[in-house]
Amino acid sequence: MEQHYLTIWSRLRHRSWIGITLGVVLTGLSFVVSLRSMRQSSADDDWVAHTHTVGTALETTLAHVTAIETGARGYAAAGDESFLESYGNGTHAIGGDLDALSSLTADNPTQQERVARLRMQIKARLAIADATISQREKTGVVPAPQFFLKGQRRMNAVQATIAEMKAQEAAKLEQRQLTAFSTRRRTEVLMLASALAGLTLMIVAGTITAREVKRSSVLLDQIQLLNADLERGVEQRTAELQESQQRLHLFVEHAPAALAMFDRDMNYIQVSRRWLTDYSLEDRIVRGASHYEVFPEMPAQWRDAHRRGLEGEVLRGESDRLERDDGTEQWIRWETRPWYDSGGEIGGIVIFTENITERKRAEDEVRRLNGELEQRVAQRTAQLEAANKELGAFTYSVSHDLRAPLRHISGFSRILLDDFEATLPPDAKHHLQRIDEGTRRMGQLVDELLTLAQVGRRELTLQVVGLRSLVDEVIADLKPETAERNVEWKIGDLGYADCDAGLVKQVFHNLLFNAVKFTRPRQQAIIEIGQTEREGRPLFYVRDNGVGFSMKYADKLFGVFQRLHRAEDFEGTGVGLATVQRIVQKHGGQIWTEAELDRGATFYFTLGSAEINGSKTKAAHAGENL
C-alpha cells in the first residue's frame, strides 16, 4: 500500500515537472524559431537593398554611356571641344561601372552573361566614337552620316541590354519584397503563437503544481501510516530470513557433495556432512579450527590455491591425487572460489570436492583397453596392407600373363581366316570370328583390370588443373565414336581442382564414353557436363538422355564385372565404373548416380582432400589398394 501511495506521489510530481518543462521547451523553441525568422527577414531586406543597388548601377552606367554618345556626336557635328569633356568623363567612368555591375550580379549567371555582352557593346560604341572624333579632327568637317548611323545602332544595342537587365532586377525586386513581407508576417504570427502557448502551459503547470502540493500533504499522512505497517513487515521478513538461513544451513550440512566454508584465516565456518565423512572428521573438532591444523601435512600447491582464492581467483582441479593416512590412494576433483561479505569484500573461500577415484580407475581401464585396441588395429592394418600388395601383384601378374595366350589365340584365328577362308565352311568361319571377338573382348578386359590395379598402386601427383581442358581432350578422343551421330555437348563452367590430372581425365573419359554409348538409341544425344555446389564443396556431374536404368540396381553399379545391360545391346566389361569409383575415392571424394529407366542417368562426384591432407588412416589407405 505504501508503495502505491509513493507511486502516486511520484507520478504527480512527474506530471508537474513535465508541464513546466514543456512550457520552458516551447518558449525556448519559439524563441529559436522567431530568431531564425528575424534573421531570414533581415536577409530578405538585404536582398531588396541589393536589387536597388544593381538598378542604381545600371542607371549610372546608362548615364555614362549616354554622356559618351552625346560628347562624341556634339563634337563631330559642331567641332566644339567642350563636348569632349563630357566624352572624356564618360569614358573614364564606364570601366568602373561595368566592374561594379559584374561584382553586384556575381550570384546571377544570366546577368553575368548580359554584363559581358554589355561590355562588348560599349567597347564597340567607344570604337565608333573614337573613329568619329578622329575623322572630325583630321578633316575639320562633319564626318559622313554612316559614322552617326553606326553609333546610333551600337547605342541602341547598349540601351536594349541595359533594359533587359533592369527588367530582370525589377522582377527580382518585386519577388524579394513579397518574400520579405511574408517572412515578417510569419515571424510575427510565430512569436505571438509561441508566447500564448508558453503562457498557457505555464498557467496549466502552475495549477497542476498547486493541486499536487495539496494532494501531497494528504499522501504524507498516508505514508506515515504505511511506515508503521512496513516496520511490522520488516520484522516478519527478518523472521522468514532467519528461517531461510536455517534451511540453507541444513542444505549445506546434508549436501551430497563435500562443501566447506572458511574465513580469511582459513578457519572453518561451516561444513557439510559429506566433507566430514570423506575426510574422517568430526564436526565438534572442525568447527572454528584452522584448516591447516586439521590437515598439517597440506601439500604446498593446495596452500597456494587457497591463497589465490583469498585474492579473488576461482581455481579448479579436475584430477588430483590424495594419499590417505591409511596409505590408500584417492583422486578428487575440486574447486575453490571466494565469498564476499555485505561490504563487497572477500570474507573467505568456499571449497568443493568430489571423490572421483572410481571414475579415475574406470578411465585408466578404458585407456588400457584403447591401447590394446590400437595395437590390434595396427596389426590388422599391416596384415591388410600385405594382403593388398599380394593381391595387387597377383592381379598385375595375371593380367600380363593373359596377354600372351590371348595374342596367340587371336593370331592363329586370323591366320586360319586369312589362309583357309576359301576352303572353310561357313560355320567354321563364324566360329573363328567368334574366337577373334572373344579374344578382343578378353584383351579389353585385361587392359581395364590392369588400369584398375594401377589406380590402386599409383601415387597421386597433385596439381591445379583446369577441368574444362580435360573434358575437351576427352571429347576430342571420342570423336571416332560420335562422328556419324547427332550429339549435343553442353559444357558448363567446371573451374579448377587440385587433383591428379591423368586420373581425373580417366574419370571423365569413362563417364563420357558411357554417356555416348548409352545414348546410341537416341536420334539426338544430349550430354551435359557441369558443376554445382554441395555443402560448400564443388560437385561435378555428367548427365545424359540415354536408356538409363532402374535405381533398385544402383548398388551394383560400381562393382567389378557388374553390368545392368546385356552385352548384345551395349558392349562393355563392367570395370570402367569401378575404376572411376576407385579414382574418386583416392582423391577423398564420393560418387553416386541418379537415373530412371529410359530417361537417362546423372553421375555426381566430388574431389575431396582427405588423402591429400594426409588424414586417411593406414587401414583406409590399404583398403583402397585392393
- How far lies 558's CA from each of 113, 418, 500, in Å? 87, 40, 21
Q: What is the pLDDT of residue 620?
A: 36
Query: What is the number of other CB atoms lying within 10 angstroms of the CB of residue 577?
Result: 21
Sequence-distant (6+) residues with CB within 8 A of 239 are none
* Residue 325 pLDDT greater than 70, yes or no: no
Q: pLDDT > 90: what percent of the chain?
A: 6
* Residue 323 pLDDT greater than 70, yes or no: no
* Residue 55 pLDDT greater than 90, yes or no: no
Burial class (CB in 10 A: 0-12, 13-18, 19+), 109: exposed
Rounded Cα distance, 396 and 393, in Å: 5
Rounded mean pLDDT of the chain?
A: 76
Sequence-distant (6+) residues with CB within 8 A of 471 are 491, 494, 508, 512, 529
Q: How sure is the predictor about 626, in pLDDT bands with cuts at 50, 70 and 90?
A: very low
Give the mean pLDDT of 478-502. 88
The per-residue b/e assignment along 446-481, b for 16 or more CB within 10 angstroms, e otherwise, is bebbbbbbbbbeeebeeeebebbebbeebbeebeee
Rounded Cα distance, 626 and 618, in Å: 13
Helix or strand run (H / E) with residue 531: strand 525-534
- Greater confidence (528 vs 417) lies with 528
* Residue 612 pLDDT greater than 50, yes or no: no
Rounded Cα distance, 66 and 73, in Å: 10
Sequence-distant (6+) residues with CB within 8 A of 373 are none
Q: What is the pLDDT of residue 41?
A: 65
Structure confidence by residue, pLDDT tens digits, 88-99: 887 888 888 888
CA angle 351, 356, 358 (to 5 degrees): 160
- Greater confidence (288 vs 610) lies with 288
Structure confidence by residue, pLDDT tens digits, 244-254: 667 666 666 66
* Residue 210 pLDDT greater than 90, yes or no: no
Q: What is the pLDDT of residue 244?
A: 67
What pTM did the predictor assign? 0.36
Structure confidence by residue, pLDDT tens digits, 70-79: 887 787 777 7
* Residue 224 pLDDT greater than 80, yes or no: no
Rounded Cα distance, 105 and 102, in Å: 5
* 451 three-state secondary structure: helix
Q: What is the pLDDT of residue 95?
A: 83
Q: How many residues does the chain have?
A: 626
Q: What is the pLDDT of residue 543?
A: 93
Distance, C-alpha 425 to centroid of its chain: 80
* Residue 444 pLDDT greater than 70, yes or no: no
Choice among 281-290, 295-304, 349-358, 372-381 with the minimum mean pLDDT: 281-290
* Residue 570 pLDDT greater than 60, yes or no: no
Strand intervals (E) in 385-516:
462-466, 487-491, 496-500
Q: What is the pLDDT of residue 326?
A: 61
Choice among 310-319, 380-389, 491-500, 531-540 with the minimum mean pLDDT: 380-389
* Residue 2 pLDDT greater than 60, yes or no: no
* Residue 102 pLDDT greater than 90, yes or no: no
The per-residue b/e assignment along 511-521, b for 16 or more CB within 10 angstroms, e otherwise, is bbbbbbbbbee
Q: What is the pLDDT of residue 468?
A: 92
Q: Which cell goes with 557?
A: 553399379
* Residue 403 pLDDT greater than 60, yes or no: yes
Q: Which one-letter DSSP state was computed for residue 290?
A: B
Structure confidence by residue, pLDDT tens digits, 10-27: 665 666 667 667 666 766
Give the mean pLDDT of 336-342. 89
Rounded Cα distance, 60 and 93, in Å: 9
Sequence-distant (6+) residues with CB within 8 A of 372 are none
Q: What is the pLDDT of residue 269?
A: 85
* Residue 128 pLDDT greater than 70, yes or no: yes
* Residue 342 pLDDT greater than 90, yes or no: no
- Greater confidence (560 vs 125) lies with 125
Q: What is the pLDDT of residue 462?
A: 83
Burial class (CB in 10 A: 0-12, 13-18, 19+), 202: middle
The per-residue b/e assignment along 296-329, b for 16 or more CB within 10 angstroms, e otherwise, is eeeeeebeebbeebbeeeebeeeebebeeeeeee
Give the mean pLDDT of 203-209. 73
Q: What is the pLDDT of residue 20?
A: 64
Structure confidence by residue, pLDDT tens digits, 151-194: 778 788 888 888 888 888 788 777 877 887 787 777 777 777 77
C-beta separation of 204 from 19 below 8 A = yes
Give the mean pLDDT of 62-87. 79
Q: How sure is the predictor about 467, in pLDDT bands with cuts at 50, 70 and 90?
A: very high
Distance, C-alpha 613 to centroid of its chain: 29
C-beta separation of 348 from 339 below 8 A = yes
Q: How sure is the predictor about 129, in pLDDT bands with cuts at 50, 70 and 90?
A: confident
Burial class (CB in 10 A: 0-12, 13-18, 19+), 443: middle
Q: What is the pLDDT of residue 185?
A: 79
